Amino acid sequence: MKAYTYIEKGRFAMTDKPKPVIEEPTDAIVRVTLGSICTSDLHIKHGSVPRAVPGITVGHEMVGVVEAVGSEVKGIKEGDRVTVNVETFCGECFYCKHGYVNNCTSPHGGWALGCRIDGGQTEYVRVPLATQGLNRIPDSVTDEQALFVGDVLATGFWAARISEITEDDTVLIIGAGPTGICTLLCAMLKHPKRIIVCERSEERRAFVKKHYPEVLLTTPEECQVFVEAHSDHGGADRVLEVAGANATFQLAWQCARPNAIVTIVALYDEPQVLPLPNMYGKNLTFKTGGVDGCDCEEVLHLIEQGKIDTTPLITHRFPLSRIEEAYRIFENKEDGVIKIAIYN
C-alpha cells in the first residue's frame, strides 16, 4: 500500500509498505477513508520533533472504517466508521482516570501515531489500545464532519474547557489558524458575552468574518487598544493564546484584565519570558494545555446535534496520490488554505 513516509530531516516521500496486521490483542486495523495534514507533520519534516522516528508513515488526523479488531478490543467492531485519536492512552493509569490522557504513563502512551509508529497518510493504519483510541462516528455525521475530532478539534475543545468561560466574559483568542478556529468554535459553545479574534493574516481575518460574523476582529498591532475598548473591565476576562509567537505570548497577558485566566494552547519554538515585575498585582492565572483528547465522544455528539461544524475549515481536497502537492500548499499557506482533506 502507499504510505507517505518520513525519510529524513527535510524529506517526506511516498513509499510502498505492507498492509499492517494486528500485533497485540488491543490493536485495531483501520482503513483510512479521509486524513489531513497538521502543522505538527511539518514540525516532524523540519526535524523539530526529536521523538519522531525516520521511516514511519506520517499523519495523525484521520477517520476510517474498522477492518479488524484484536480479541481484547471493546466497544468497536469490524465495519464501524471511526475517528482515530491522536493520542494513544491506556484508560487505566492515574492520569487517564482523571481525564489527562495526554499524560498517560503507558509505554505506548502519548503521541505515537504518525510520530513514533506508522500513522494515517496511507491506506491502512494499525491503532494500538484501540478501545480508547477509536470513537464510533454517528450515522448522521459524515467523514468530513468528523475529520478533526481526534486532534485539532480536541485541542480547541480542551482549551475552551480549561479556560472556564462564562456568559459574562469577553474572550480573546489570539490566532485564527486551524487550531485557533477550532478553539473559537468551542469557545462559542460557552456563549460568552463577546469574542474577539486577533489574527495577523488579512486572508484569515476575512475567513473568520465570513463564517462567524458575530466575532470581533483585530490585528496584533491594534489588539491591546481594541480589547480595552471592547471589554467591560479594561481587558479580556479570558485569553486563549493559539498563535505561538514571542509577541503573541506577551500580548496574551497584556490584553488580560486583572484576575483573568490566560490559557496557552500554542507550541513555541523557544522559551518564553514572563516579566513578573511588570505583571505584579495583575493576579493572573496561567493555564497551559495542548491537545488532551479525552472528550471525543462528547465532541462527536455535539457535531451530530449541529452545534459544532468544522467543515468550512476544509478549503482543499486531494487524493493520497497527490499528497505532495497538498503539503506544498499547506506549508506555504497558499491559496487561502486552512485545512486539506486527503482522501483514498
Applying CB under 5 A, which residues contact Zn ion? 38, 40, 89-90, 93, 96, 104, 106, 151
What are the E-state strand segments in 156-281?
170-174, 194-198, 216-218, 236-241, 256-264
CB of 215 to Zn ion, least distance (A): 24
**Distance of alpha carbon 123 from alpha carbon 236, whole angstroms:** 45
Closer to Zn ion by Cβ: residue 93 or 189: 93
**Distance of alpha carbon 106 from alpha carbon 92, whole angstroms:** 9
Question: Per residue in 140-165, is it b (16+ CB within 10 Å) or e — as a string?
Answer: ebebbbbbbbbbbbbbbbbbbbbbeb
CB of 228 to Zn ion, least distance (A): 34
Rounded to 10 degrees, what is the CA torsion of 148, 28, 290, 106?
Answer: 170
Query: How many angstroms from the chain centroid is the CA of residue 248?
Result: 19
Closer to Zn ion by Cβ: residue 86 or 165: 86
Q: What are φ and ψ of residue 301, in 5° steps?
A: -65, -40
CB of 30 to Zn ion, least distance (A): 17
**Distance of alpha carbon 308 from alpha carbon 293, whole angstroms:** 16
CB of 204 to Zn ion, least distance (A): 18
CA distances from 25 to 21, 135, 227 (A): 11, 18, 53
CB of 133 to Zn ion, least distance (A): 12
CB of 276 to Zn ion, least distance (A): 32
CA distances from 178 to 112, 156, 172, 313 (A): 21, 9, 16, 7
Pairing of strands 124-127, 134-136: unpaired
Residue type, 129: L
Closer to Zn ion by Cβ: residue 5 or 132: 132
**Distance of alpha carbon 64 from alpha carbon 55, whole angstroms:** 23
Closer to Zn ion by Cβ: residue 96 or 294: 96
CB of 104 to Zn ion, least distance (A): 3
CB of 193 to Zn ion, least distance (A): 31
Closer to Zn ion by Cβ: residue 261 or 294: 294
Closer to Zn ion by Cβ: residue 177 or 235: 177
Q: What are φ and ψ of residue 213, in 5° steps?
A: -65, -20
CB of 198 to Zn ion, least distance (A): 22
| Other Cβ atoms within 10 Å of 88 Cβ, number | 26
| Cell numbers that stand for 272 in this block | 518564553
Closer to Zn ion by Cβ: residue 89 or 207: 89
Among candidate residues 156, 333, 170, 175, the one with its CA nearest the CA of residue 245: 175
Closer to Zn ion by Cβ: residue 56 or 172: 56
Closer to Zn ion by Cβ: residue 5 or 170: 5
